[in-house]
Structure formats: C-alpha cells, structure tokens
Amino acid sequence: MIRFQPAVKFDKTATIIFLDKIQIQKRNFTLVTSATIRDTIKSIVEAGQFHGDEKETFPLIINKKLILLVGVGESHKVNLTAIRTIVRQAALSSYLKKSKEIDVIPQNRDDATIIAIIEGILIGTYSWDKYRTANDKIIRPFDRSYTIAVAAKTQYENAVITCQGLTLTRNLINDNADTVDSDFLEKTVSGLIRGKKNVTIEILNRKEMKSKGLNLHLAVNQGSPKEPKLIIVKYNGAGKSADYTALVGKGITFDTGGLNLKPTGHMETMRSDMSGAAAVIGTLKNVLALNLKTNIIFAVAVAENCIGSAAFKPGDVFRGYNGKTVEILNTDAEGRLVLADALAYIAKNYKPSRFIDLATLTGACVVALGYDFSGLVSNDDAFAQSLIAISNTTDDRAWQLPSYTEIKEYVKSEIADLKNVGLPKGAGGAITAAEFLRNFVNDIPWVHLDIAGSSFVDGKGRHYYGHGATGAGVRLLTSYLRSKE
C-alpha cells in the first residue's frame, strides 16, 4: 500500500531518505522536516561518511527510529530506470526487514520521479512466493505500507492502480500452468467484469470454434485435453458511436513445442507463454479501475501446445477463420496460429479501428533486442511511433523492427496460402512471424509487440525486477488507452 502526505512526521518505525550528490554538496536538506535529523545528516556528510553516490546507503537510529539514507548519485544524470532500481534496492534492504510502515522522502518532487518511486516500490518489491514455506517473523516488502512525502495527485493514484493490474498479470504468469489454464483465465476475466454495466463478454470454446472455423487455434490445442478458448470483452467507455481499439493477447498456457519438442533449457519457463494474454487481462483490470472514457476490445486466445497422438503435425495444412490455408512447418511456431484466428475473428465481427497484439512470439526477437526491449512491427508508422513514444515514458520500452513489401514472399507456402515459418535457420524470425500475422488484420492499423524477451526474468533479477514475470506491456497499454480518452 502506498499513501501520500506532504510532510512525514517521522512517527513510523523507519524512514528512507533519498539524497543526491548536489543536495549533499550544497547541504540542502530542506525536504527533511526534522531539524534533529537534518543536523545529524550534516554531521555525517561533513565527517565524510556519506557522499550520496548511486545506491550508497547509511543507516541511522534516532529516537529508536531507523533512518536509512540512500544515495542516488547526480540525479540529473540518472535516468528513471536507475531511480526505480535504487528504490527497489532500498526497499529490500535488510535494515528494513522488521519495518511494517515506512516513510519515504524523495530527492525531488517532480512527477516523473515520484511515479518512478511508486513503481520502484510496487514493481520492485514484488515477489512470487505462493509456494514458499511461510516465515511469520519476516515482513514481506510487498506487504508493507509506504507513505511518500508529497501531496496526493491523480497521476500518482493512477500509477498505483496501474501497478495493481501489473501485479495481476505477474501472478497469472508465475503460477503453475495446470492452475492457470483456460478455465482459470475465463473465471479471472469474468470476475473482473462482474457487475459492470458497460461490458459484454463472448467466449468461444472448442465447439464454437469448430462451428465458426477457427481451425488454426484448434490445431494448436489438438494434443491437450484442456478446452481452448477465445475470450472477448467489449468495453464501452465512450459511447457506441466511438471507435474501438482491440487488444489481443497470445495465451499459450504451456508450450512444449508440440511434436517439434523444445529441448531441456528452453521449456522450463514455458508457463510464461501466455504473457500476452495476461498483459491484456491486467490492462482490463486497470481500465475498469480507472473507468476510462474510451472503447476497447480485450481478447485472449488461450490454448495449450502439448505432445501426444492427437497433436498437430509438421506438414499438416489447416484453413484459418479468414479462409486462408496454412502449412505447418514447425509446431513450435504455434502462437501466431492462435493469434491469426483471433485477429481475423475480431476484424470481421467487431470491426475495430486499430489492433495491438502482444505475444511471447519468437526467440529471434530476444536474439535481436535482448531482454530490455519489446520488438514492435506495424503496418502504420504513425501508430507505431505513438506507442514507442509512450513506451519511453512508461519504461515498457519498444523498438520498431522493419516491415517491407518483399517480406511477404517469405511466408508463402508451396502447397498452401501461407506457411507458419519464414526463412531457413530462423533468419529474420521476428519480422517474418509478424508478417504472417499481418495477413489476418484486414489492413486495419495494427501494432504487434513481441514480448518474448521483456516479459520474463529467468534468474536473480534485472534492473528493478526480481525473478519471474515482469508484466511487460501493461503500463504501455494502460497509458496508451488513457491517451485515447
């Protein structure tokens, strides 16, 4: 929980004070309202014990209260990602392990810095510990109450709400694949919209998909006993005459690779292959909480890509919802198949004015961009650039990859209209996967976000994320939709 208060009273068990080198050099501690604490900080600085270097910490005990000084370096040279990282490190400090309520004094009070502090706390202290043995003596950083020494503003409250949707997204991705299956996701979405008068929901199961011809989606799910689903929520925030933005998320609840089986080292985190769907659901939560005045289609295409005697096979040909036939050359290129049918179905039946799809689509995107950027491909440069500009402010960073006329030849099949892989040896895998999807959007302005690298941290942590899901896309989508009001 985060609260806002113009000046802290130093009545909590702990206070974090962020200081930069310029403030220290000028002995400018005016944001610290306690004269005793200001004088103590001056004494420590003059004794050369604290310089305000980036991530430097110094603990004090004053009147039986912990005061943790945290350096941010020369803050005008430190970007907001670094601020979030510094805040995370401070909030996770062992000095605070027994503190339940913490005051936070920022190094300055501009809006961007305060939002970075909020995100550093709420995103940075998140941990997935559902299956860890509880230890009641330790207070989890994510469960603490923080009071930031600023007056409340709508944009700060909105940042807190956005992080709550992001937390839902991370929880969905991090849990067991046999827990977060298509039924679970349906219940989650239904729970979010229950009682809301401006939403409707359509759910296609196996029977409906078969009757309507979503055969690409069905093919991916052939080897699984679990029900495939296309879950579509229509949110009317701006009146029926206003246009709609459609968000479509890939929801492969587990990806074995199918008969093109993934090797050891590549399958262990494949519960995260529904990160696109989870991001759409987290964004739905935010839109409902913010009561945005815009119209949106939220769609999650859910399947499980399993091996077995019923699994679809390399060499098979299936006809998609839009009538195009697809040759399957690799069963591990399955996400584009469920997305293709979802895009085509929504284009025809809901007629949105623009599409954004999110998917952990290709390892090739990770090779191209690493883990800090999502790959972006679009058929509309102005649309793409508007999202990239927002991504730079939300820290959901995206980088535009090329799309060009000749690339359409790379996804043509010798025996069908299309094939589900492009060039040999994975060359240009991220852009040819996007080109495959372009065939299903009916020339509607469209942005594809490949979040394969940015959506999950497999290790001790990256920047201000710990191990596991990052919630990539939620802040970007939420901010974009707010701009459409």
Is 137's pLDDT higher than 60? no
- pLDDT given for residue 138 in this prediction: 57
Point out the catalytic residue in the list 336, 438, 475, 482.
Answer: 336
pLDDT in tens, 34-43: 889 989 999 9
Strands (DSSP E) found in 106-172: 145-148
d(CA 312, CA 318): 10
Query: Which has the higher per-residue pLDDT, 7 or 398?
Result: 398
Q: Where in the chain is the domain with CATH 3.40.220.10?
A: 2-152
Inter-axis angle of helices 154-174 and 275-290, to 10 degrees?
150
Out of 23-27, 205-209, 218-222, 285-289, least confident range = 23-27
Whether 258 and 307 have beta carbons less than 8 Å apart is answered as yes
Whether 244 and 200 have beta carbons less than 8 Å apart is answered as no
pLDDT in tens, 148-175: 999 999 999 999 999 999 999 999 999 9
Whether 365 and 456 have beta carbons less than 8 Å apart is answered as no
> Is domain 2-152 in CATH 3.40.50.720, yes or no?
no
Point out the catalytic residue in the list 38, 109, 196, 262.
Answer: 262
pLDDT band at 32 (very low <50, low <70, confident <90, very high): confident
In the predicted model, what is the mean pLDDT of residues 226-231? 98
Is 195's pLDDT higher than 90? yes
- pLDDT given for residue 139 in this prediction: 63
Inter-axis angle of helices 154-174 and 111-122, to 10 degrees?
30
In the predicted model, what is the mean pLDDT of residues 342-355? 98
Cα atoms found within 13 Å of the Cα of residue 181, Cβ hemisphere only: 11
- pLDDT given for residue 104 in this prediction: 96
Helices (H), 319-451: 335-349, 363-369, 381-394, 429-438
Query: Which has the higher per-residue pLDDT, 255 or 426?
Result: 255
pLDDT band at 135 (very low <50, low <70, confident <90, very high): low
d(CA 345, CA 349): 6
Is 435's pLDDT higher than 60? yes
- The string over 368-405, giving b where at least 16 C-beta atoms fall within 10 Å of a residue's C-beta and e elsewhere, is bbebebbbbbbbeeebbeebbebbeebbbbbeebebee
Whether 450 and 403 have beta carbons less than 8 Å apart is answered as no
336 is catalytic: yes
**Antiparallel, parallel or unpaired: β 229-236 and 199-204:** antiparallel
Non-local CB neighbours of 153 within 8 Å, separated by 6+ positions: 4, 111, 114
Share above pLDDT 70 across residues of the chain, in percent, rounded to a whole number: 99
Question: What 3-state DSSP class applies to 14?
Answer: strand
Mean pLDDT of the chain: 95
Tokens of 8: 């802290």
Q: What's the one-letter identity of residue 141?
A: P
Is 484's pLDDT higher than 60? yes
HEC string of 366-380 equals HHHHCCCCEEEEECC
Continuous segment of H or E residues that includes residue 216? helix 215-221
pLDDT band at 136 (very low <50, low <70, confident <90, very high): low
- pLDDT given for residue 460 in this prediction: 81
Whether 16 and 102 have beta carbons less than 8 Å apart is answered as yes
Question: Which residues on adjacent β-strands are paired with residue 70?
Answer: 18, 57
pLDDT in tens, 359-403: 999 999 999 999 999 999 999 999 999 999 999 999 999 999 999
Closest to 277 measured CA to CA, from 383, 212, 345, 182: 182
pLDDT band at 240 (very low <50, low <70, confident <90, very high): confident
Whether 83 and 77 have beta carbons less than 8 Å apart is answered as no
Closest to 334 measured CA to CA, from 238, 253, 402: 253
d(CA 372, CA 370): 6
Fold of 161-483: Aminopeptidase (3.40.630)
Q: What pTM did the predictor assign?
A: 0.96
Continuous segment of H or E residues that includes residue 162? helix 154-174
Sign, CA dihedral 257-271-343-455, equals negative
Whether 135 and 434 have beta carbons less than 8 Å apart is answered as no
Sign, CA dihedral 380-436-306-267, equals negative
pLDDT in tens, 58-97: 999 998 999 999 999 987 888 999 999 999 999 999 999 8
- pLDDT given for residue 183 in this prediction: 98
262 is catalytic: yes
- pLDDT given for residue 461 in this prediction: 82
- pLDDT given for residue 73 in this prediction: 92
Q: Where in the chain is the domain with CATH 3.40.630.10?
A: 161-483
The DSSP letter of residue 398 is: E
